Amino acid sequence: MPRPQERAASPETLATLATAPQIIVVHYHDVRPEGEYPGAFLKSVSGALVARIKARFLGGVRERLSPTGVRDVTTPRFPYREPGVAVDEPSVARLQRTYRTGYVFDFYVPWRYIPSDGNVTVQARLVRLDDLAVLWARQCTFLPDSARADRCADDLVVDFLTGASS
């Protein structure tokens, strides 16, 4: 049984994405300064890793799917959550307010995974903005270093393109 934050991409999604006119790729700021809560240092490290994973994932998808309408947003977004909603995912409605239509890949560290054991979890999603449906969601957990971050990105690419669980 997949966890709520894990969902395989359907063949229809992949087919649609190849020709979609707008696919935005974003990641998020680390909003809390270092030293003000446990795990702050690793959280800060994870911010750079999320950007790295995003870039590598995008490279892998571009190589194998050749989507035409991809735009990589290099400036991180603020990870707003919906007020009053007890989930730690950035709001998809906020993505819609900015980009209006098309699809968005976003990459973030879920708040509940602020690491206590040295690991960091990175969550990736594909959101369709027209109806705010999450079409694909997957995460990977690893000790934060560049090599493992690259492996995480590669696993996400394979998972996205094949629908396989990583």
Partner 1 sequence: MTAQRVVALTAVVAALISACVSLESVETTRPAIGPKSDLWPWLEAPGVRVTAHARHARVASQLVGPGLIVPLPIIPIPVRNDEPGRHFWIDVGIDPEGEDFTLDVRRVRLHLPNRTALAPSVFVGPVMFDLYQNHCGPYREPERMPAVIAMTELVCVSLRFDAAPPPTDVKFSLTLDGLTNRGEPVAPLPIPFEQRRFRRLLWEP
Positions that interact with partner 1 (CB under 8 A):
29, 31-33, 36, 75, 77-78, 80, 83, 94, 97-100
- What is the three-class DSSP state of 25? strand
Judged by beta carbon, residue 64 or residue 97, the one nearer partner 1 is 97
Distance of CA 89 to the CA centre of its chain: 10
Please state the closest distance from residue 93 (CB atom) to partner 1, in A.
Answer: 11
C-alpha–C-alpha distance, residues 1 and 23, integer Å: 29
C-alpha–C-alpha distance, residues 36 and 38, integer Å: 7
Name 114's Cβ contacts closer than 8 Å, sequence gap at least 6. 37, 38, 39, 42, 43
Please state the closest distance from residue 30 (CB atom) to partner 1, in A.
Answer: 11
Please state the closest distance from residue 163 (CB atom) to partner 1, in A.
Answer: 31
Please state the closest distance from residue 143 (CB atom) to partner 1, in A.
Answer: 27
Write out the E strands in 38-151.
Answer: 70-72, 103-108, 120-128, 133-142
